[in-house]
Amino acid sequence: MAKNTTATDASRNISPTESPLSDEKRVIETSERSVDDQLSVVDFGGDTGLPPPPTLTPAQEKALYRKVDTRLMPILAIMYLLSFLDRGNAKIQGLTSQLNLTGNKYNIALTMYFIPYCLFECPANLVLKKLRPSRWLPFIMVLWGTVMTLMGIVKNYPQLVGARVCLGVAEAGLFPGVTYYLSLWYPRSMLQLRVGIFFGAASLAGAFSGLLAFGISFMNGIAGLEGWSWIFILEGIATVVIGVLSAFILVDFPATAKFLTPEERSYLVWKKKYDNSSVGEEERFALRHVAAAFTDWQVYLHILIYMSVIGPLYGISLFLPSIIQTFGFQPAISNLLTVPPYIFATIVLYVFAVWSDAISKRSPFVVAGLVMLLIGFVINITDVPSGVKYFGTFFCVAGSYASFPGVVTWLSNNLSGQYKRGVGMALHIGIGNFSGAIASNVFRAQDAPRYILGHGIMLMFVGIGFVTVPLAVWLYIRINRARDRKLGEGRRKYTDKELRELGDRAPDFRYIL
Name the DSSP letter for residue 329.
Answer: -
End-to-end CA distance of the chain: 34
ω before 341 within 30° of 0 (cis)? Answer: no
With a cut of 50, which residues of the chain have pLDDT below it?
A: 1-47
Do the Cβ atoms of 78 and 242 come closer than 8 Å?
yes
Do the Cβ atoms of 156 and 98 come closer than 8 Å?
no
Rounded Cα gap, residues 87 and 440, in angstroms: 11
Q: Where are the beta strands (DSSP E) in 30-186?
A: none
Rounded Cα gap, residues 329 and 448, in angstroms: 14
Q: What is the pLDDT of residue 375?
A: 94
Rounded Cα gap, residues 482 and 377, in angstroms: 40
3-state secondary structure of 44: strand
Q: What is the pLDDT of residue 26?
A: 38
Q: What is the pLDDT of residue 207?
A: 67
Long-range contacts of 357-361 (CB under 8 A, 24+ apart): 357/189, 357/190, 357/191, 357/192, 357/193, 360/20, 360/188, 360/189, 360/512, 361/512, 361/513
Rounded Cα gap, residues 53 and 6, in angstroms: 7
3-state secondary structure of 276: coil
Alpha helices in 120-226 (DSSP H): 121-131, 133-151, 157-171, 174-183, 191-216
Q: What is the pLDDT of residue 35?
A: 33
Q: What is the pLDDT of residue 448?
A: 74
Rounded Cα gap, residues 272 and 254, in angstroms: 10
Q: What is the pLDDT of residue 209?
A: 66
